[in-house]
Chains A and B, each alone.
Chain A
Amino acid sequence: MAEQYGEFRELRYDSDTESLNLSFWPGSIPLQQRWRNNGLSADFLGDYVTTFFPLDENAPATRARQNEVKGAVAFIANELLENAMKFHDGALPEPITVHMNLQRDRILLQQSNGVSGKAAERFRDFVKTLRENDPDELFIRQMEESALSEDSAGVGYLTMINDYQAELAWRFDALAEAAYRVTTQVTIRL
């Protein structure tokens, strides 16, 4: 059975739901060359959702709303893609996948990649720390304490939670040879 942290919401495929899938195998070209695709893909997802939040020139709030949803999707998708690129274990016969599911009252962004057992352990510890602490305090603490730290991966998740009011959930599925497939689901409420 998969280990799960937080609530996973069902990905829907019906007439009320728009969805997009991306998948790639990072081993095929170097990370450095591929990095720019994170921004291209994230911006594409952000631009894509604007169609569903049309502008009404008689209602100025629609512009702010469109801008907000687009910004949230682009930021969160970019973070998920960056993390996938950084932590994916290219030796595993697993792709990185990103899925966007635009439902009536929420947007789900779900990303999945393969990691070694050791990396899964570190990430599981991080997820537990995140769930056991106040995310606002954790952000301040991380910034104050990690003035010289190289690791800023947690800042992405904390920013999603604190600044975008996103809800996060994780799942660890065991693969062969102690490796895992780690799935992160981010829910943005509309």
Chain B
Amino acid sequence: MTGQTLTNSLSGEGYAVEFHPEQDCVRMSGALRLGGLAEYGPISAMLEDALNGRERLVLDLSELEFLNSSGIATLSKFVILARNHGDCALVICGSRDIAWQGKSLNNLKRLMPALELRFE
């Protein structure tokens, strides 16, 4: 993390990612279609920061309408990181009304069996 300024809020055209440390929660909303893993770097850094020193972290995706494959790869890598990290319980909240989540979120559970996946 050295040399990188950590922030609790990232946003761009059509999306927002917010870290709420007091709620142990990161919320992603809107449509995320950044152009490759490098462009997702600041989001990865925020997620990694949220994981450190925490016993439990909720990743709330219930308002994330769209995620491209670079975003799916970013989430997958984060889940692997959380699994390898070991001391933080990870909960991912999704929505049944958002088509991609019903299709793709289950793959994360395969990467990290201890992951708690909740659909509202």
Contacts and interface: CB of A to CB of B under 8 A. Distances in A.
A159 B72 contact: yes
Among B72, B98, B99, B110, find the residue whose CB has the most chain A CB atoms closer than 10 A: B99
Given A39-B33, A79-B68, A143 B97 contact: no
Interface centre among A32, A139, A146, A159 (most CB of B within 10 A): A159
A70 B107 CA distance: 21
- Judged by DSSP, the binding face of B is helix
A162 B107 CA distance: 10
B104 interface: yes
Contacts, number: 79
A82 B103 contact: no
Contacts of A117: none
B107 to A, nearest CB: 7
Interface of A: 31-32, 35-36, 38-39, 43, 67-68, 70-72, 74-75, 78-79, 82, 86, 139-140, 143-144, 146-147, 149-153, 155-156, 159, 162-164
A67 B99 contact: yes
A155 B70 contact: yes
